[in-house]
Chains A and B, each alone.
Chain A
Amino acid sequence: MSKTLNRRDFIKTTSATTIGVATVASGITLTTFADTNKTPVTNEKRWGMLIDTNKLSEVDIDGMVSACQKEQGWGSEVHSTGSQKPGWIKKLKVKDKATGRISNLALMCQHCEEPPCVDVCPTNASMKREDGIVLVDKHLCIGCRYCMMACPYDARSFVHETLSNQKEHMPRGKGTVESCTMCVHKVDKGGIPACVASANSDAVIFGDLYDASSKINQTLKTVQSAQIRADLNLNTGVRYSGL
């Protein structure tokens, strides 16, 4: 199969047209959104992440968490109590019982290929895009929270309070479930997730798992990596090395 345009060229050619600002009348500007994605995403791609726990300090992981909060606008809820607070990405300590070795993980939605959260959803709100990104369609979410029960990674949270001043690209509201979107609003425009951007580019790699020329694909071929709870056979899109 020959490709006429590789991903890098695609980004190069489209980034120039990403934000166009047209002057309509004096003092008024109309921002036109990027036209990068005019066609539906397909299953020719599968987005994924490889997180190298050896290369991430606790401070780096905290940085990833705050990058996510800043990008997506969660974390400043005032009325929610401890366990009600949203957590799209968490710092997790895991200890090897035999050796006592402790590693720190950044844990977010693993974007499972066989997502239990989608299986149990009664309204089809919990859904997987063709390119592997798992999302909640809040237009359909009735807040039953079955998906939160079904997720083995505790990756989802429920909004317990009335919100305002949400991010323009990330509608969030009381009574619906939410989780890491793999920064789909950026990815669809050729960008990378905020948490990935905040970390060292070798420590967290984002890319198309299917693309043999991508850094993530090539790295996965050479280093040892693992899925968390691989025994569940969910084939996660987020992988870890150095565990």
Chain B
Amino acid sequence: MNRLLVVFLSLLVGSVFAHTNEHANLGEQASSIKASGKVFHESVSIIRKMHPEFLRHKRDKTLRQGVRTDEYSLKGCVSCHANKNKTNNQYHSVDKKGQFCSDCHEQVGVSLDCFSCHRTIPKEGLL
């Protein structure tokens, strides 16, 4: 029974981390930061596992208490991880198929609803 559980758990964990290979769509800024050797997220595995909690915590603090720091802000995620369409120089929405957010969410089969309200590309004139 225990062995079965271990097998099951490792399958489960395996599916979460199946995506540890190079992210195809890291995003414009994120790729440059990575290429420059700088570290933005101290631990990639923590941000992968914990970003929903971080974002939820941050959203309540910002909306209800007016705490407006850039740590764990969804705006920050979007502006760093969005990709540009090379031909027309326009941003792809981060939640579109094959883009940063949907890439993993599709893989692990979660669907969530940040982007029916939140802007999916960086602020106009940011870059």
Contacts and interface: CB of A to CB of B under 8 A. Distances in A.
Nearest to A135: B63
B123 interface: yes
B69 A164 contact: no
Contacts of B68: 33-34, 36-37, 185, 188-189
Nearest to B75: A168
A30 interface: yes
A27 B33 CA distance: 11
Interface residues of B, number: 32
Interface of B: 28-29, 32-33, 35-36, 38, 59, 61, 63-70, 73, 75-76, 79-80, 116-123, 126-127
Complex A-B, nearest 6 residue pairs according to Cβ-Cβ distance, in ascending order: A173-B117, A40-B65, A171-B117, A41-B66, A33-B70, A25-B36
B116 A127 contact: no
A12 B96 CA distance: 42
B77 to A, nearest CB: 12
Given A40-B65, A129-B65, A28 B29 contact: yes
A163 B118 CA distance: 10
Interface of A: 24-25, 27-41, 127, 129-131, 135, 137-139, 162-169, 171-176, 184-185, 188-189
Nearest to A168: B123
A231 B111 CA distance: 48
Nearest to A41: B66
B117 A172 contact: yes
Contacts of B122: 168
Nearest to B38: A24
Given A24-B32, A131-B66, A137-B63, A29 B127 contact: yes
Contacts of B123: 168
B64 A129 contact: yes
Contacts of A27: 32
7 contacts: A27-B32, A33-B75, A130-B65, A138-B117, A139-B59, A164-B120, A166-B117
A34 B69 CA distance: 7
A181 to B, nearest CB: 10
A173 B113 CA distance: 10
A166 B119 contact: yes
Contacts of A138: 117
